[in-house]
């Protein structure tokens, strides 16, 4: 038996860039894992909205001196994301947010079919989650604004839009960094720790943004509350909580995948090498 040289062992340890997901992948429609992942996204988003919106309403219903305050609300959102990403990462990737799904799609981590399916499941899960909150505490729900995202008094819509873009950029950039396969290949403990920085990013962004917009950074969260609360103000401001997160996700995908990871340069170099080999032959 031939012994493996040090050079060969080093080559085996080298990182290999995973291939990009196909734009249209109809094959996965015939796989049970695809539908299992959709169900995981639906249930996770439902649970996320139920716990987080119930926490928001409970805080508003309490006396200012007795409530958990903005800090507690931020912990509820960040903590639930940490728990749910940990629980569902091995099934669906643990997105729980259309902006995260959109960012990963732009980086060619997901097919268009899976992207659309995830977004629909997340939005339906959010609506059902907020619906459960209203069913369990209808009086508190109606009196305290249903946990809907709106632009706070004293802030313009452009300010709110900018806050949502920056907040979502922080979240999606953290997702890219925490789930980077190159980092996972180098440090085996990174995948197990990925939910922690993602949840902490949600917590930190809430602290910065909650006084401006209530902190959306998740189009499904904003849509679910707007649909169930059904208030004119929440519907008028809803576009901010879709455009802002999607633009933030786009910026994070471009920055991480095409600048930090230099995906475009690598693709160009691979194309030039292939063309040179063809010319030589």
User: Could you give the angle at the alpha carbon of 134 between the alpha carbons of 130 and 139, nearest 5°?
Assistant: 145
For the chain, give the percent of residues with pLDDT over 90. 69
Is the CATH number 1.20.1080.10 carried by domain 24-280?
A: yes
Residue 69 has a pLDDT of: 87
How does residue 260 score in pLDDT terms, banded at 50, 70 and 90? confident
129-132, Cβ contacts within 8 angstroms, sequence gap of 24 or more: 129/45, 129/46, 129/47, 129/48, 129/49, 129/50, 129/53, 129/224, 130/49, 130/50, 130/53, 130/224, 130/225, 130/227, 130/228, 130/229, 131/228, 132/46, 132/50
Phi/psi of residue 29, each to 5°?
-65, -20
- Alpha-carbon distances, residue 128 vs 45, 102, 141, 222 (angstroms): 9, 22, 14, 13
Helix (H) or strand (E) holding 270: helix 263-280
**Greater pLDDT, 65 or 13:** 65
| Helix ranges (DSSP H) in 62-179 | 69-88, 98-106, 112-136, 138-143, 157-178
Q: Average pLDDT for residues 217-240, to the nearest whole number? A: 96
Residue 264 has a pLDDT of: 52
222-239 in b/e form (b: 16+ CB < 10 A) is bbbbbbbbebeebeebbe
Task: Give the tens place of pLDDT for each residue, 133-169.
Answer: 999 999 999 999 999 999 999 999 999 999 999 999 9
**pLDDT(96) > 50:** yes
Side-chain half-sphere exposure of 210, counting CA atoms within 13 A: 18
Q: What is the pTM of this model?
A: 0.86
How does residue 2 score in pLDDT terms, banded at 50, 70 and 90? very low
Residue 280 has a pLDDT of: 54
What is the C-alpha to C-alpha distance for residues 142 and 152, in angstroms, rounded to an integer?
18
Residue 62 has a pLDDT of: 67
Q: Average pLDDT for residues 245-250, to the nearest whole number? A: 98
How does residue 215 score in pLDDT terms, banded at 50, 70 and 90? very high
Return the structure tokens found at 42. 């639906």
Residue 131: count of CB within 10 angstroms of its CB? 17
**pLDDT(4) > 60:** no
């Amino acid at each position: 038996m031939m012994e493996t040289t040090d050079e060969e062992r080093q080559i085996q340890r080298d990182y290999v860039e995973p291939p990009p997901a196909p734009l249209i992948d109809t094959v996965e429609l015939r796989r049970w894992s695809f539908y299992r992942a959709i169900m995981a996204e639906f249930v996770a988003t439902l649970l996320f909205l139920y716990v987080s919106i119930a926490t928001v309403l409970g805080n508003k219903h309490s006396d200012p001196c007795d409530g958990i305050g903005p800090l507690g609300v931020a912990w509820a959102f960040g903590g639930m994301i940490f728990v749910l990403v940990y629980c569902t990462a091995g099934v669906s990737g643990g997105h729980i947010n259309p902006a995260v799904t959109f960012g990963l799609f732009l980086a060619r981590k997901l097919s268009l079919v899976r992207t659309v399916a995830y977004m629909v499941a997340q939005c339906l899960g959010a609506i059902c989650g907020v619906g459960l909150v209203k069913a369990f505490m209808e009086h508190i729900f109606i009196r305290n604004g249903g946990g809907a995202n709106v632009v706070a008094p004293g802030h313009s819509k452009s300010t709110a839009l900018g806050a949502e873009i920056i907040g979502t950029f922080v979240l999606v950039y953290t997702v890219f960094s925490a789930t980077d396969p190159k980092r996972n290949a180098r440090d085996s403990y990174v995948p197990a720790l990925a939910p922690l920085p993602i949840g902490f990013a949600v917590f930190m962004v809430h602290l910065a943004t909650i006084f401006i917009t209530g902190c959306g950074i998740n189009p499904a969260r904003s849509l679910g509350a707007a649909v169930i609360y059904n208030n004119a103000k929440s519907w008028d401001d809803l576009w901010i909580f879709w455009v802002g997160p999607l633009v933030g996700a786009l910026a994070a995908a471009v920055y991480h995948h095409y600048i930090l990871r230099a995906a475009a340069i690598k693709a160009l170099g691979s194309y030039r090498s292939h063309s040179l080999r063809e010319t030589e032959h």
